Structures are given as structure tokens and as C-alpha cells.
Amino acid sequence: MYPILVNDRVFGAMVEAIAKLSLKRGTFVTLRDVMVQCMEGSPSAHPLVLSTMKDLAPLEGHIRIYLRLGQRQIGRVEPMKAELAKHLQREVKTRDLVCFCCLQIAHELG
């Protein structure tokens, strides 16, 4: 389980991604579902998503989120963080990856 502290804007991005994916699937989804969708089905990082990531920084805040991933997804966390770090040209934490995945899915679903 990953405890993550995020700011209001990142929390809003999470809620938006959960809502859009819920509407697409026709059932309520969780943050984990958004992460799985991103990790298993998303194409490369969209430039607009990367730009938004930079605009939202710093991502840390007072809202505590708990994310539980399955073993398959846990194995994808570090490689995805390394890839995102290349794009952002800075160190990437799990919080950054979660924010990225939420923005990416929201962008993909329009």
C-alpha cells in the first residue's frame, strides 16, 4: 500500500480521472482501476499531460490517499517512474506517477 499526500489540484485530477473512467465503463471505479488502465493500456505520455504535470508542481499537500496495487502493477511502478523522470527531467516519486496516470487517463477519455 502506498500512502500519498497530494494537494487540492492533484486530488481534483484524481477525481476527474476516476469519474471519466467510471462513466466510460458504466460502473464506479477506484484510483487503482485508473492506475491499472494507465499501466496496462496507455500509449506514450502526451505532451499536454507532461506540461500539466509541471504546472501542478509541487504535488505534495495535505490530502492523504492510500493506493493498493496488485503484484503485476507493483512491478511496473519503478520502470514507469524512470520513464516519467526522463520526460520531466527530475526525480519522480510514486505521487508523481499517480498524478501522471490520472492526468493521462483523463486526457485520453476527453
Range of the domain at 97: 2-109
Largest CA distance in the chain: 37
pLDDT at residue number 41: 80
Whether 25 has a pLDDT exceeding 70, the answer reads yes
Cα separation of 16 and 78, whole Å? 25
Neighbours of 50 (CB within 10 A): 16
Whether 1 has a pLDDT exceeding 90, the answer reads no
Number of domains, the chain: 1
The answer to whether residues 106 and 34 touch, using CB atoms and an 8 Å cutoff, is: no
Cα separation of 98 and 40, whole Å? 14
